[in-house]
Amino acid sequence: MVQDRDLALPGTGFVAKNAPRNDKIGCFLQQLSSYQKRENKVRMMPAVLFVCTGNICRSPMAVGIFNKILEEKNPEGDWRVESAGTWGLEGEPAAAGSLAVMKNNGIDISEHRARSVSKDLLQAFDLILTMESGQKESMRMEFPEVSHRIFLLSEMVNQKQEIDDPYGGVFSEYEQAADEIEKYLLDGYDTIILRATHSNLDGQRS
């Protein structure tokens, strides 16, 4: 709730908290400037979205693995890397198998919470990579305005191979899925970087 000492800018969701009564406008403008700089920085970052079905197994692992690759190959770069599901299990954490496999690889995805794809979400990303052909095709049909940004992950290495869903399977199935994801991300790294940055520089996303 906005208090008497707060100032809100209509239409932005931005609120200057506890603005001094003797300088409300100055304080508000300073905070607004800082807010706008942060928002602009996020919009300018190349953005990659990984998509699977429930958003609790494969795509959270892809985020963790790709972030680790970026830290190693491009430590000075600013990237937005997130995930979602075509039938996201809203609010659910990553599957135990995914958590364990990532932990074994020094990657923490314990803060992950599942969500579903939406038009607004997809429009915020330069490159959208799916685990299965059906996910790619269904999203291209439902969201034609971003269809040119949606690809099967393996297409980054000129293949059309799907990554099986390990949900409900044994630990080794999660390991296999993670290994396949990592291989495609490493082998397709240059293509991913090129596609995401090209789309970002062209200003194609919202």
Is 164 one of the catalytic residues?
no
38's CB contacts (< 8 A; 6+ apart) are: none
57 annotated active-site: no
Residue with tokens 């609790």: 56
Tell me which of 43, 113, 140, 165 is the catalytic residue: 165
Catalytic residue among 27, 57, 58, 195: 58
The H or E element containing residue 68 is: helix 58-73
165 is catalytic: yes
Q: Which of 149, 176, 183 is nearest to 51 (CA)?
A: 149
Catalytic residue among 27, 52, 126, 149: 52
Length of the chain: 206
Sheet holding 127-130, edge to edge: 80-85, 47-52, 127-130, 150-152
Catalytic residue numbers, as ranges: 52, 58, 165
